[in-house]
Amino acid sequence: MKIKAYFFDISILLVNARMNMLILWIINDASAWNVKYSEQGAECHWKLKEIPFYINANSKDLNADLVTDSFISASQKWLNSEIEFVYEGTTKEAVPQIKEDIMDGVVVNKVYFEQDWLAKLSARGAEELGPDVNMENVMALTLLWNSASSGQIVAFDVVFNDETFNWRTEGSQNRAEYDLQNAMVHEFGHVLGLDHSTVEDATMYYAIENTKEQEKRTLHQDDREGRNYLYTPSEDEEQETPAEPMSDDLGAPVTEKGCSTSTSQSSHPFLLFLIAIIGLRSRSS
């Protein structure tokens, strides 16, 4: 099977959502867990049973070993018999992957921090999400490469905002910081192809409410149902091998949707609503 085209998907995670009643009513009209869709309407998913990833624990403040432990623990939350993340070691890379490398078969899935967040990612945020998105309020970006025709995901990067947000790990004491593992479990859900859930207790809920939150380190039943929908093949279905990218079939990067939470100081609730809802399709649990 040939992959005809790829597109670039961005999910963003912000904090402490407060929107007006109309927006909340429309968001809650969706049902439970959701999956991501390609620009041609295919469900985004991996054909690999084992998804390799690397960690660059380049946080400005945190101990590298604690960061690595947090990310590995987060990856294990999504394990079932049909899908798992496999930690391959450390990397020094701290830039998103590019189309040319993926076309050449050079794929380095990774999680890393960006201290120069506004300078390096504001332009991308404006281009992909609109000029009014305040990147200071964006906690993390999940970047996916997937086939537009089949939805097959072939590469990812997760980037944490290490400039305007402070993070903590299991060994940290400062309660004014956000829990790293709590956020990373959410981002790994996006990596698998899940979109936001409207179940408030779900890991894939669109908001991180406060700095003390860490309950979403553990998957909710809603999260498990979404995962199992994407990664529970029939008994006689064989594991497929990812197709080789075709250099002349790669499409231009586009955005499907972004994470939809914001700081309470945001002056653009309707814009955030658009980011939350465009392209969203839901399935009842």
Burial (Cβ within 10 Å: 0-12, 13-18, ≥19) of residue 87: middle
Beta bridge partners of 12: 141
Give the total number of structural domains in the chain: 1
More confident residue, 18 or 32: 32
Report if residue 226 sits inside a domain: yes
Identify the domain containing residue 113 by its residue range.
12-282
CA–chain centroid gap for 112, Å, is 13
**Domain containing 159 — which CATH number?**
3.40.390.10
| Residue 130 predicted with pLDDT over 50 | yes
Report if residue 3 sits inside a domain: no
Question: Residue 190 has what pLDDT?
Answer: 95
How many CA within 13 A on the CB side of residue 210?
A: 2
| pLDDT band, very low/low/confident/very high, at 267 (cuts 50, 70, 90) | very low
Question: Residue 113 has what pLDDT?
Answer: 98
Report if residue 171 sits inside a domain: yes
Phi-psi domain of 30 (left: phi exceeds 0; alpha: psi -120 through 50; beta: other)? beta
Which string of DSSP letters, residue by residue, matches the chain? --B--EEEEEEEE-S-----HHHHHHHTTS-S-EE-B-TTSPBPB-S-SEEEEEE----SSS-HHHHHHHHHHHHHTT-BTTBEEEEEEE----S---HHHHHTT----EEEEETTHHHHHHHHHHHHH-TT--GGG--EEEEEEEETTT-BEEEEEEEEE-SS--EE-TT---TTSEEHHHHHHHHHHHHHTB--BS-TTSTTBS----TT--GGGSPPHHHHHHHHHHS---TTPPPPPPPPBPGGGPPPP----------TT-S-HHHHHHHHHTT-EE---
Report if residue 1 sits inside a domain: no
Report if residue 138 sits inside a domain: yes
The pTM of this model reads 0.77
| Residue 3 predicted with pLDDT over 60 | no
| Residue 20 predicted with pLDDT over 70 | no
Report if residue 7 sits inside a domain: no
| Residue 111 predicted with pLDDT over 50 | yes
Report if residue 153 sits inside a domain: yes
